[in-house]
Structure 1
Amino acid sequence: MEFIKGFTFAPFAKRGSYTKKEAYKSLDNLKERVGVNFIILVPNGLQDTAQSEEICYTSNSTVSDEELIDMIEYAKKIGLRVALKPTANCKNGTWRAHINFFDEEVHCEPKWSKWFKSYTDFQLHYANLAEKTGCEMFIAGCEMVMSERREEEWRKLIADIRGVYHGLVSYNTDKYQEHNVKWWDCVDIISSSGYYPLKDWEKELDRIEKVVKKFNKPFFFAEAGCMSTKGSSSTPNDWNMEGEVALEEQAQWYKAMFEASLKRHWVSGFAMWDWAWNQYSLNKVEADKGYDVYGKPAEKVIKNYYDAVVK
Structure 2
Amino acid sequence: MTARIPGDPVCGMTWGWVGTRGTWSTPEAGESMRLMSEHDVTWTALAYAAEQEHVYSTEIPLDGVQVTDDEIVGAIRQAHAHGLTVCLKPVVNVADGSWRAHIGFFDQEVPGEPSWAEWFASYERFILHAARIAEAEGCAMLCVGCEMVRADAQEQHWRALIARVREVYSGLVTYNCDKYQEDRVTWWDAVDVISSSGYYPIDAWERQLDRIEPAVLASGKPFFFMEAGCPSREGSPALPNDWALPGEPSGRAQLDYYTEMFRAVRARRWVRGLMLWDWPARLYPEQAAAADDDYCPYGKPAGEFMAAQYRDWGRERLR
- TMscore range, shorter length: over 0.9
Match of 1:288 in 2: 292
Matched, 1:188 2:228: no
Give the 5 Å matches for 1:208-247: 208-247=212-251
Give the unaligned 5+ runs of structure 1: none
Q: Which of 97, 108, 112 is the matching residue for 1:108?
A: 112
Q: Which runs of 4+ in 1 moved over 6 A?
A: none
Residue 256 of structure 2 is aligned to residue 264 of structure 1 = no
Question: What SS does the aligned partner of 2:256 have?
Answer: helix
- Report the Cα distance in structure 2 between the residues aligned to 1:213 and 1:70, rounded to whole angstroms: 37
**How far does residue 47 in structure 1 lie from its aligned partner after superposition?**
0.2
* 2:87 corresponding residue in structure 1: 83
Q: For 2:290 and 2:266, how far apart are their aligned partners in 1? A: 29
Q: Counterpart of 2:203 in 1: which secondary structure?
A: helix
Percent identity over the alignment is 45
Provide the residue aligned with 1:11 in structure 2.
17
Q: Could you say which residue in structure 2 is the equivalent of 1:142? A: 146
What is the 5 A alignment of 1:196-215?
196-215=200-219
Once residues 239 and 67 of structure 1 are traced to their aligned partners in structure 2, the CA distance between those partners, rounded to angstroms, is: 26
Query: How far apart in 1 are the matches of 2:249 and 2:274?
Result: 25
- Contact kept in structure 2, 1:53 and 1:115, CA below 8 Å: yes
Counterpart-to-counterpart distance in 2, 1:233 and 1:70: 35
Q: What RMSD over aligned residues (CA atoms) do the two structures have, in Å? A: 0.9
Contact persistence 2:16–2:48 (CA under 8 A): no
Does the CA contact (< 8 Å) of 1:229 and 1:243 recur in 2?
yes
Give the match for residue 166 of structure 2.
162
- Cα distance in structure 1, aligned partners of 2:68 and 2:280: 17
Alpha-carbon distance in structure 1 between the residues aligned to 2:307 and 2:62: 34
Q: Give the drift of 1:114.
A: 0.5
Query: Unmatched 5+ residue regions in structure 2?
Result: none
Q: Is the 8 A contact 1:174 1:193 kept in 2?
A: yes
CA contact (8 A) 1:44 1:57 kept: no
In the alignment, which of 32, 37, 46 is matched to residue 42 of structure 2? Answer: 37
Shift of 1:301: 1.2
1:23-102 to 2 correspondences below 5 Å: 23-32=29-38, 34-59=39-64, 62-102=66-106
Secondary structure, aligned partner of 1:199: coil
Q: Name the residue aligned to 1:250.
A: 254
Query: Residues 15 and 45 of structure 2 are in contact (CA less than 8 Å); yes or no, is this contact kept in structure 1?
Result: yes
Deviation at 1:248, TM superposition (A): 0.4
SS of equivalent residue, structure 1 residue 17: coil
What's the TM-score, normalizing by structure 1?
0.98
Query: Which deviations, in whole Å up to 9, do the C-alpha atoms of 1:68-88 show, x marking residues without a partner?
Result: 111111211221110111100
TM-score (norm 2): 0.95
Instruction: Compute the displacement of 1:283 (Å).
Output: 2.1
**What secondary structure sits across from 1:230 in the alignment?**
coil
In 2: Cα distance, 1:129 partner to 1:225 partner: 28
Count the aligned residue pairs.
309
